[in-house]
Amino acid sequence: MDYYSELSKSYNELHKKEQLNKINIIKQNIKPKKHEILLDVGCGTGISTSPFNCIKIGVDPSIKMLKQAKDAFYMKSYAEKLPFKDRCFDYVISVTAVHNFKDIKKGLEEIKRVAKKDVVLSVMKRSSKFSEIEKSIMSIFKLKKIIEEEKDIIFFLKR
Instruction: Supply the CATH number for residue 26's domain.
Output: 3.40.50.150
Angle formed by the axes of helices 130-140 and 104-114, to 10°? 30
Domain count, the chain: 1
Query: pLDDT at position 157, please?
Result: 98
The residues, ordered by sequence, that sit 6+ positions from 29 with a Cβ below 8 Å of its Cβ are: 120, 145, 147, 156
Give the C-alpha separation, 59 to 88, whole Å. Answer: 14
pLDDT band at 137 (very low <50, low <70, confident <90, very high): very high
Beta-sheet strand order (sheet of 55-60): 73-76, 55-60, 37-41, 89-95, 115-124, 152-158, 142-148
Query: pLDDT at position 50, please?
Result: 81
Burial of 131 (0-12, 13-18, 19+ CB in 10 A): exposed
Query: pLDDT at position 3, please?
Result: 53
Supply the pTM of this predicted model: 0.89
Query: pLDDT at position 2, please?
Result: 61
pLDDT over 70 percentage in the chain: 90
Give the C-alpha separation, 155 to 147, whole Å. Answer: 7
Q: DSSP character for 52?
A: -
Task: Specify the 3-state DSSP secondary structure of 75.
Answer: strand
pLDDT tens-place string over residues 85-97: 999 999 999 999 9
- The answer on pLDDT for 54 being more than 90 is yes
Query: pLDDT at position 8, please?
Result: 45
Burial of 26 (0-12, 13-18, 19+ CB in 10 A): buried
Give the C-alpha separation, 109 to 143, whole Å. Answer: 15
Give the C-alpha separation, 12 to 42, whole Å. Answer: 14
Q: Which domain holds residue 66?
A: 2-158
